[in-house]
A = this chain, B = another copy of it.
């Protein structure tokens, strides 16, 4: 069975994170991704650490199994080559600041005249419309303006950033959904279209119930550390040696939990009988639990509580994530064998599908311009002489 997007060709003008994360997903789904990079420099992320033997691992994790060509889009010949290439590609994706492609004379309005079936996807900070469309953006701005920082962290800490670039990552994922839907639409109707995904919009879309909580309570929700706003106990606790999490989602789990930890008397305690009561009496309940849990190690509590069918688990640091048996059984830690950096472990594909073999290794990361000759000769019939000439002129 071929992978779902086998045969689909993506011309990828993106740099850094949101765009490359999107095309990483589509590449795992079978698409051929050709990165179009700036001659001599390339994707900014090639310069981001950490490094092993001068190979940037940030770039490696995001760009494995893609191809790299260089093309100077500021030169007339570069523009022409890009337009010619597009005839053979199904999707163009870019994450420039809105207006940049238009300035280059390569905006969607121009390109769709050359190729009406083109799927043109743009991932940007604030989107291609609206008063702040053209402002510069970084993930931190989207996390801050989109509200997530105001509800992450602790009541007494400053606003807290989510520990990864959720602005970029979710925008990349929504763009991947848009492109997948547009490919279906293309197959169905023969029509191309433009997709416009913003980091800021994406942050608003994932706020879950925070918008409605504000409307009911009349004030903005606040950060709550690691506990759930309305379900209790549903948070992290300190054991003798380490923290662990205990999400008691309903009253029946509460009763099982009481038995599991030998506190049968709590079952009939009217202060704790229902979730509403436990939530109201948090100030009594949490100290009791803290006092109990400090007496044994986290692993002991987890085993003892899980035995009663109550959800309970460890808080993994990254080292433990990389050694977790379930994560390995799911092939979520895969390997790239790199010329410079050697064998590097990175995250696998989380979308397990019958039509995708679940590989434990991934294709190599491309050197800058590694596939320029191959791609230009395959799609445009350029010979060695022509390619040498273009290189000399700084076009590729």
Chain A contact residues, CB within 8 Å of chain B: 1-2, 4-5, 17, 25, 29, 48-52, 57-58, 60-61, 126-133, 135-141, 143-154, 157-166, 169-170, 173-178, 180-185, 187-189, 191, 193-198, 200-202, 204-217, 219-221, 223-228, 230, 234-236, 238, 243-245, 247, 249, 306, 309-322, 324-327, 329-330, 332-333, 344-355
Main secondary structure of the interface of A (DSSP, over half): mixed
Quick one: which of B139, B146, B189, B316 contacts A144, CB cutoff 8 A? B316
A194 to B353, CA, bound (A): 6
Tally of this chain's copies: 2
Q: How far is the CA of A217 from the CA of B52 in the complex (A)?
A: 11
Least CB distance from A234 to B in Å reads: 6
* Min CB–CB distance A312 → chain B (angstroms): 8
Tell me, rounded to whole Å, the shortest Cβ–Cβ distance linking A355 to chain B: 5
Bound form: Cα–Cα A83–B146 in Å: 43
CB distance A316 to B150 under 8 Å? yes
Report yes or no: B160 in contact with A61, Cβ–Cβ below 8 A: no
Q: Which residues of B contact A320 (CB under 8 A)?
A: 147, 220
The distance from the CB of A152 to the nearest CB of chain B, in whole angstroms, is 4
Q: Is the CB of A329 within 8 A of B130?
A: yes
Given known pairs A191-B1, A311-B138, the reply for A351 and B178 (CB within 8 Å) is: yes
Contact (Cβ within 8 A) A194 B5: no
Most chain-B CB neighbours within 10 Å: which of A60, A158, A174, A204? Answer: A204
Query: Complex Cα distance A151/B321, Å?
Result: 12
* B144 and A311 contacting across the interface, CB-CB below 8 Å: no
